[in-house]
Amino acid sequence: MTGSLDLAVIGTGPIGILSATLAASAGHRVGVWSPRTPVEGRRLTLRCSGKLESSVEVENISGPESLAEWSHILVALPATAYADVLGMATPFLHGKQTVIFSGALSLVQFWFRDSVDWKGSAPDLVAWGTTLGTANRVAPLHARIATVRPRLGVSALPSARLEALTGRCAALFGDRFEAAPAHLATLLANINPIAHAGQVIPNLTRIENGEPWRLFANFSRAGARIAEAIDAERLEIGRRFGIPLRSLADHYRLSYAVEGRDLAALAQAIEAAGLGAPGPESTSHRYIEEDVPYGLVVLQQIGVRVGAATPNLDMAIALLSCGLDKPYARMNPILAGLRLETETAESLAHRFA
């Protein structure tokens, strides 16, 4: 597809800023809606530094009612905000639009399709296996970009529109998208919850005490072993569905363009290259509040359905639930709506093909 498109980005966190900047830099009309911390002005200047040095001007979408006029909607939100923010947006969305979930967690596209009483046809729904890159906030509307990913997997509802919608993503954000073999493939491709478990668990005291620390510099051999053990279980779940997946180490090699013999060495190479980020300084950080219930717990539940042993996933969820005194296994309303407990391996593969 050629020519200028329009894109509304929901969320002005680092990934929302990166996504809006890439689309605006490609010549598309872009607006952003900041649902939790509204910003003033008809137009906003977004700034990216680091791996992407750019400053763009975009429209400020003042409220959800204005989303109706945009053809493409990108949801760049933490999963913890899905229910509340999408609840505000859905009355104004319609069947002539495409809604893209950036780094979709918990098979949110199915929950979104089935939980809304669409007055007519639902929008086309696109799910990415991960976000366009990695970034952290420098200041409001300013993100430091560590990576812009060269390849992302895409799935779509309806599945018959996958090729066209993959092309639409490429038109908006560049030639970096590949059609995934199944919706489960985009879910299983998301390595962030696994990496963050290996980074968070050995550093829980630092996080709880609010200490400054470096994420990859402190992703030591112990944390890397935890992540590698959980990742092996993710890869086994993929094999049971016949879905080929990249390992966490290969994701790092591809995303950060670094080399290392194992995950611990890769983490140190990322830090040495200046691509690292600060670690969380609060237990309410998305690496915990999002990635445990919306990432690890979902992966564990799918593992149970397919008969894969998940002792290390079980351990990570139990340790974080115990240490932080939170019932993470029960904190994901999307998972409750999907009712995975009624599925078999065969019905899962069919339902999320």
- 182-241 pLDDT, tens per residue? 999 999 999 999 999 999 999 999 999 999 999 999 999 999 999 999 999 999 999 999
Question: Smallest Cα–Cα separation from 297: which of 314, 281, 283?
Answer: 314
* Residue 141 falls in which region: left (phi positive, over 0), alpha (psi -120 to 50) or beta: left
Burial of 113 per CB tally in 10 Å (0-12, 13-18, 19+): middle
Question: Do the beta carbons of residue 147 and residue 251 sit within 8 Å?
Answer: no
Helix extents (H) in 150-203? 162-173, 183-188, 192-200
Q: What is the model's pLDDT at position 353?
A: 87
The answer to whether the bond into 202 is cis (omega within 30° of 0) is: no
Q: What angle do CA 349, 352, 353 make, to 5 degrees?
A: 70
Residues with pLDDT less than 70, the chain? 1-2
Q: What is the model's pLDDT at position 1?
A: 43
Q: How far is CA 194 from CA 81, 173, 302, in A?
A: 20, 26, 15
218 by DSSP, 3-state: which? coil
Q: What is the model's pLDDT at position 270?
A: 96
Pairing mode, strands 43-50 and 72-75: unpaired
The number of beta carbons lying within 10 Å of the beta carbon of residue 42 is 7
